[in-house]
């Protein structure tokens, strides 16, 4: 009995948050690096299904860098990076599309259905959602079909929302030339959150958040203001895979998103903790 009362208390405590969040959009970027196990993935998707059922509007964007590297290696194609960007020639692009738009995207959709939710998997090419411009590396080198998001057309997301579907988006863009472009998943999530004027943008990754010393989880920075970011970048506190995330957060905040978060996707129910408890988890980046 005591245990049941405790469970009821948890629900009552969550009630103000459920009310506050009803009808609000939350864009969740699911990092490839958090794909450590099917149970963790299931926990995350369970949270997303629950968010949908209590009236929120979750939108999922996923990455998949590691799966792409594995798939190209299998075919004997060596992954090449210039200034942190994957060189994407036509054969590589075909694999990228297969892995991101096919394998990973459909796995997430199928799992959401198995958990009682309703999802539609799509890439940024559908409905010309993510329009992309071809970019060069910082040093001016041609890196193939790598694009930067130039425009987001959210029409397809709005129509899915009307039918209560959870959109699951693979970060592929469509160029003016009609070609497919490899777009950074963090950037795609930030652009989509901005276009939807989302309430929150949440990055699920494999570390507790942004840490002052990368290897030391105890040095977690729980709040970062947008104006502190340039210094954190300059001093190298934020590096590697964290750079596109923080840039996406800044872009989203500038576009009217209220709060952005970088949290540990391997922590069970990290999303629920972030949204339905006053403490929150990880790092929040605020205006």
| Residue 185 contacts ligand ATP per CB under 6 A | yes
| Residue 242 contacts ligand ATP per CB under 6 A | yes
| Residue 211 contacts ligand ATP per CB under 6 A | yes
| Residue 240 contacts ligand ATP per CB under 6 A | yes
Shortest distance, position 127 Cβ to ligand ATP, whole Å = 23
φ and ψ at 265, to 5 degrees?
-75, -10
Stretch that binds ligand ATP, among 25-33, 156-164, 193-201, 271-279 (CB under 6 A): 25-33
Residue 159 contact, options ligand ATP, Mg ion, none, Cβ 5-8 Å cut-off depending on partner type: none
| Residue 37 contacts ligand ATP per CB under 6 A | no
Question: In Å, how far are 140, 161, 190, 207, 282 from 203, measured between CA atoms?
Answer: 29, 21, 10, 11, 10
183 and 64 Cβ atoms separated by less than 8 Å: no
DSSP state of 267: S
- The residue assigned the tokens 């709060």 is 259
Q: Of residues 160, 237, 248, 249, which one binds ligand ATP by CB under 6 A?
A: 237
Q: Which residues contact 42 (CB under 8 A, 6 or more apart)?
A: 111, 115
Write out 151-186 in H/E/C secondary structure: EECCHHHHHHHHCCCEEEEECEEEECCCCEEEECHH
276 and 55 Cβ atoms separated by less than 8 Å: no
| Residue 207 contacts ligand ATP per CB under 6 A | yes
Q: Of residues 241, 260, 261, 265, which one binds Mg ion by CB under 5 A?
A: 241
Stretch that binds ligand ATP, among 77-85, 94-102, 104-112, 203-211 (CB under 6 A): 203-211
Q: Which is nearer to Mg ion, 101 or 241 (CB)?
A: 241
Q: Which residues bind ligand ATP (CB under 6 A)?
A: 31-34, 63, 65-66, 185, 205-207, 210-211, 214, 237-242
Q: Which residues bind Mg ion (CB under 5 A)?
A: 241
């Amino acid at each position: 009995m005591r245990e049941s009362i405790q469970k009821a208390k948890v629900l009552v405590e969550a009630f103000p948050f459920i009310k506050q969040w009803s009808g609000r959009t939350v864009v969740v970027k699911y990092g490839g690096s958090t794909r450590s196990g099917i149970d963790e993935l299931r926990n995350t998707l369970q949270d997303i299904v629950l968010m949908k059922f209590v009236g929120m509007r979750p939108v999922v964007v996923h990455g998949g860098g590691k799966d792409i590297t594995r798939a190209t290696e299998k075919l004997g194609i060596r992954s090449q990076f210039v200034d942190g960007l994957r060189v994407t020639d036509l054969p590589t692009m075909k694999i990228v599309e297969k892995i991101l738009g096919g394998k990973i995207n459909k796995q997430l959709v199928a799992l959401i259905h198995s958990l009682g939710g309703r999802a539609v998997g799509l890439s940024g090419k559908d409905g010309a959602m993510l329009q992309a411009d071809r970019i060069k590396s910082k040093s001016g080198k041609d890196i193939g079909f790598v694009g930067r998001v130039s425009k987001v057309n959210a029409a397809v997301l709005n129509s899915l929302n009307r039918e209560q579907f959870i959109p699951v988006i693979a970060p592929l863009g469509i160029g003016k030339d009609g070609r497919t472009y490899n777009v950074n998943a963090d950037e795609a999530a930030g652009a989509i959150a901005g276009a939807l004027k989302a309430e929150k943008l949440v990055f699920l990754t494999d570390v507790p958040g942004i840490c002052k010393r990368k290897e030391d989880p105890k040095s977690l920075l729980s709040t970062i203001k947008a104006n502190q970011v340039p210094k954190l970048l300059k001093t190298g506190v934020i590096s590697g895979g964290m750079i596109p995330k923080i840039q996406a957060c800044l872009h989203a905040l500038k576009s009217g998103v209220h709060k952005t978060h970088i949290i540990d996707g391997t922590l069970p129910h990290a999303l629920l903790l972030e949204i339905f408890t006053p403490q929150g988890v990880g790092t929040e980046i605020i205006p």
